[in-house]
Every structure is written in C-alpha cells, then in structure tokens.
Chains A and B, each alone.
Chain A
C-alpha cells in the first residue's frame, strides 16, 4: 500500500524495495512458469508467417503447445486436440472438457472435408418447462444452477477425432497441457478482467475456496495460476482413457455436484453420450466455396445466408465501416434472426429447410426486402412454398500441418466460466449450455430430452479453386456468424490482410419475434457514420473499442502460390498464431 502524499521518499523507497524484496519477489514467479503471455498493447494488426505448419488459438501458450506437437511430427488433428486440452488450462473460462463444440477437418490426401459434432446434449429428464417458475423463466436456473449443465461432449469429440484421424495417442497430446497446469502460467489482463466480471457467479456456484479464485478474490494480471486439480484429472484420463470421465470416478463426481446444485444430469446421460460425424454444410461466395458445420451449429448456415444476401450489393464501392454497408448488413441480420427463431433446432429431432435457407434465391429475396435508406418496421420469417424435408460466450482454434491437413475447431462452455460449477477437486468447469435452448416451450429449440441446443458456432474452411484458402472461426455467441462474415468480406471485398480483417471494427444487430433490436458497434466506427445510421432508424449501442462481445476470431490464410501460411489472431482476447 502507498500513500500519495510522500513523494520525496519515492525513489529511495523504490531502491530499497528492490534491494529488500528483489531476490525473492523477482525470481520466484519465473520458476517453472510458462513465460509466454499476451502483451497489453496488442491491437496492432500483425500477421504471423510460416511455411510448414501453423496453429492459431485464443492464447499464446495453447498455440505454442499445439505447434510443439506439429514439430514432433503430429498431424493437424493431433495438434488441434493438444491445443484444445491446453486451452482448458490457460483459458478455462471459455472451453474445456466440461463443454462441447464442433470441428471441421480437411484431409489433404483424400481431398475430403468432414465435421464432428461434439455439442453437449440435454439430460434425458429434460422438460420444455424446466426453467419456468411461477409462469416466468428463471434466468438463474438457466445459467448458474445444476439445471444449466448439459452433458459434456468435448472429451468424447476430441478422442473420436484423435482415434479416427490423428496419429498420436491421447496421453501424448495431453502431456503439454498437464505440464502447463502443473507449472502454472502468468495471467493476462483478459483472464483477470473476466475473472472479476464473473466473480458473483463463481462465489455463488463454486464458493470462496474455488481454484478459480485466489483466497476468495479474483486473480490479478501478472499472478501465476496453477491448477494441480486439473493436472490430476488430465493424468487420470491420460492413464485410463475417456471412459473414466463418462463412466468412472470422474462421472460420479460430475453427477454428484450437478445434482447437489439442483440439476438432473445422471450417470446414464454421461454413459450414453456419443459425438456425431456428419457431412459438412457447403455454400459459396463469389469464386469461393465454403465448408462448415451444419445444425445444431447455426453459425455456418447463417454465414452462407449472409454471404448470399451480401452478394447482391456493391460492398467494395461502399467500403468497410460505411453507413451503407453497416445498414444493409444489419438489416439482413435481423431477417436472418427471424428465420433462425422459426426454423432452427437439433436436426436429429427437428426438420430444418437447410437447402432453401442456404439458396441464392433466398439471399436475393431478403436483399430485395431491404430499403437502402430506412430500417424495416417488421422482420417476418421467410415462408417457403415447398414442403420441408429433413436434412441432416467459446473459443476457436485452427491448425494446418505440413501435409496440408486442416482442423477448424470451435468449442465452448457457453458463458465465461460456464455454470461456475466445478466437480470436487477436478479443476474443470461445467458448461451452462442448457441456456442455449429457447426460453419458449413451443419452439423447435425448446429444451427436450437428449436434444442438442442450437449453437451459433461456425468453424469453417473457405476454398478457392478446390484448394483451401482460409480457415476461420470465432467465439462470441450470436455475434459469431456476423463477425465471421465481416472478416470474410473484409478480406474478399475490402482487400484487407487477415489480421487487419480480424482487428477491423465490428458491429451486430438482431431481431426478436420480428422486432428490431439495437445496432451494437465498436466505438471505433466514425461518428458521422453513426449519425447517418441513426437517421435511417437504427438505435445505436456503442461498446468498447475492441470488445470481447464481438468474439475473438482466429484464422489462417493459405497463400498456395507463395507456399506461405499467414496466421491472424484476435486481440479482443489473447489470440496468438504460431508457425514454423
């Protein structure tokens, strides 16, 4: 502590402090701790360039650990799984074995794209009205309660991918994460800020003794964070396999804490969880072909819809951050949200008109509904003439290996620090993805037994002339697909390089039951543009310069002609690309 009215002593004090505490205070934090952590002033666009392989992830340590696996001879899937485990350690508030997600895999040898759906599913005892209390939705039950926890799928999905498409064993790819959890790492301002923001939830669900609090207080930037409980959990899984998590002692601990917190998840829910390998969803924009995951991930589908709509307008002429571009894009989003609300759910149980929603005719129709100088008064969902046929808050990482294999993986525990529930002495956080179900009881996406809640994730690979060109993804809830579309347009229409495209100012709008909601913008968008948008009817919600609300994208651009990989990572979080 320091009193401000003793300035004359300052320099002497500083010298003495260094003499007195230097040998202890300065040396101890470096012992065995991972030194790589993001700088505070990191918003300047910076592309990482490499030739042989690259990993882009939401934290420098995770990207570096993934790269280690590539250098050891592992393929893209091995590195992606190693990175995912390490993210559980260094970015535990965003993803981990207590959550779920989706991945897109490109197998260069077979020129084949496949996707794995390891989204959480609802427990078998789920009912549509499970969050209703006295006729109203209780938001706490959906977010910070045992009922908020869906059956985790991450570990099962990673293991499936590794066994089918990887070349290394589970314990080999887990080793870097175990070491990081044991040795600790220096916390960034991002971690500390999120830890403080979620303090109330952590106190409510995890309590003062939680490993995610420091003697009952949030961690500060520069603190060293070790997670011996998580290291032990990982060692158990590495030795005994994922069965331990889904059927063994870890399963018992998960069920015990969830039920203690009022939840309904049971041992059978965990035992019966299976990831699903499914065909990719395909779309196009100009000369490019896009492969992504289909529902229950909605992000990819909405990106295709948005691009189909945007293709009808002269974006290059309007320019990035122009009032025309933001107005048209925002209006398109509001129509898309109307269709999302009406049609989307888990395709295992619900009919979704995917072909119609992703058609170019659909894009043209929505584009024609948008007034160039005025907001619409209402945003109805689209009615299709044909009969509908059945078709088949997060982190993102991308990997390219030396053989050209690719993984684009997005995963989450939903809100930062998920439900805040940590199984006893296990060191990982359980998701609150039950909150991704609709609050309505009559929606396609209402909570129902074994359904997977609708997600906004949209990991993707964009191809040019049948060769991979851009690997991209982002967290950010419903901002995911608008943000990813903006990045694609920034590159293809506004000629930005990858990291510049990622760092450019973002915006987001939506509608609920056909009614417009405010247009959220990063404060870097010029005031003159905002005034024009207000004139056209938009209510503006100005957010921070670089706001995590809009996600934290990671990407790799492949310049085939030059034989180079360009990595870009989002400074809205602690994004980092590493290559060799």
Chain B
C-alpha cells in the first residue's frame, strides 16, 4: 500500500511539475479587460518587450512611454513596465527626480479612474538597483497583478511586496515565458 501511494504521489507530482513548467497553471483568478495602455516606470527598454509580448498575446494595446492623462481615455487596463535606465531617461528628456514624480502622478491619475495596473519587471537582475527598487516599491503595492522574470526577484523584494499587499505574483524564467501568463490575465 505504501509503495502504491508513493507511486501515485510521484505521478501526481510529475504531472504538477510538468504542467507548472510549461506554464498552464496559475492561481490568479482576476481577469482584466482590454484595451490596454502599456507604459514605463523608469524608461527602460523592457517596455518594448512588453509591447511585443502583448502583440503576440493578441491584446488590443497601445504603447506610450510617458502618457498624459488624456491617454487614459478608453483604456481599461494599464501594463506598467518597471525598470530604470539612465539611457532611457536621457532619451525621454527626464532626470531621476522628474521620473519618480511623473510615475507617482501617473498612478494617482490611474487610481482616480479606477483602472487596474499590472506590473511587469522583465529586465531580471540587471534591472535592479536603487532607482529601479524605488520604483518597484512605489508601483507594485498599487497593482493588481505582477509578472516578474525570476532573476529580478532573487532577493525576494517582489515576493515580500506582493505578500504584504495580497497581490498575485507570477514568476517566469525568461522574458518570452511571460507571454502565456500575460495572455491568461485578460478576458
């Protein structure tokens, strides 16, 4: 009997692991509506990755790196791609303080319109650091779902912010793996 229950457990576990690895199971009951506005907190290049992911996921989405309040009209969900890049900030004509202020104001506008935010951190370990961490701490607690490339959460920052605020967190190994969970978050 013991032998059989061990074998049964092994089969169940193998099944769980297999499906978990291939990305078919999430425990995220909330579904979001389209159209989507994809935007950046920190102006890193990952906002372009999110744009490609959303296209491949078949989402109706537009990308605006530094949106104004009027850009929220007709939008049902915000995808906020977090990651600070000095190069990106320079290209956008922003300095660090301006970007922090801009992001805070943007989130206030989004909350006023009661739009849900999904946070994406796709840059991994390389896209962590003081400014990125500050933006993560500002944005994640005010989101409804978070997708993060695993190496960007090695110190558990996303885990603790999501746990504290009861936000579902999805970890993926690689950027491309974010496609399926992103798709499944939407109606």
Question: Which residues of A pack against B, CB within 8 Å?
Answer: 1-5, 9, 12-13, 16-17, 20, 189, 192-193, 196-200, 203, 208, 214-218, 220-221, 523, 543-544, 549
Contacts and interface: CB of A to CB of B under 8 A. Distances in A.
B113 interface: no
B45 A196 contact: yes
B23 A1 contact: yes
A220 B175 contact: yes
B27 A13 contact: no
A193 B126 contact: yes
B20 A199 contact: no
B171 A197 contact: no
Interface stretch (B11-19, B69-77, B101-109, B137-145): B11-19
Nearest to B48: A200
A16 B10 CA distance: 9
Contacts of A5: 27
Contacts of B85: 197
Contacts of B127: 193, 196
A216 B175 CA distance: 11
Nearest to A12: B13
Contact of A20 (B14, B124, B151): B14
B176 A217 contact: yes
A2 B27 contact: no
B99 interface: no
Contacts of B86: 543-544, 549
A216 B179 CA distance: 13
A4 B146 CA distance: 11
B159 interface: yes
B49 A199 contact: yes
A309 to B, nearest CB: 29
Given A2-B172, A218-B175, 18 more contacts: A1-B170, A1-B181, A3-B170, A4-B159, A13-B16, A16-B17, A20-B17, A189-B125, A192-B124, A196-B45, A196-B46, A197-B44, A199-B45, A199-B49, A214-B176, A217-B174, A220-B174, A543-B86
17 contacts: A1-B26, A3-B171, A12-B13, A17-B17, A20-B14, A189-B126, A196-B44, A196-B46, A197-B44, A198-B45, A217-B52, A217-B176, A218-B49, A220-B174, A220-B175, A543-B86, A544-B129
Contacts of A208: 52
Contacts of B52: 203, 208, 216-217
Contacts of B180: 1
B42 interface: no
Given A1-B181, A4-B162, A200 B13 contact: no
A221 B149 CA distance: 12
B21 A17 contact: yes
A523 B26 CA distance: 40
Given A193-B126, A199-B49, A9 B27 contact: no
Nearest to B162: A4
A5 B174 CA distance: 20
Contacts of A3: 20, 25-27, 170-171
A196 B123 contact: yes
B121 interface: no
Contacts of B48: 199-200, 203
Nearest to A204: B48
A103 to B, nearest CB: 29
A213 B46 CA distance: 14
A2 B171 contact: yes
B123 A2 contact: no
Given A9-B13, A197-B45, A217 B175 contact: yes
B171 A4 contact: yes
A1 B86 CA distance: 30
- Max chain A Cβ within 10 angstroms of own Cβ: one of B14, B20, B27, B177: B20
Given A2-B150, A4-B169, A13 B49 contact: no
Contacts of B20: 1-3, 13
A4 B18 CA distance: 16
Contacts of B162: 4
A135 to B, nearest CB: 19
B173 interface: yes
B50 to A, nearest CB: 11
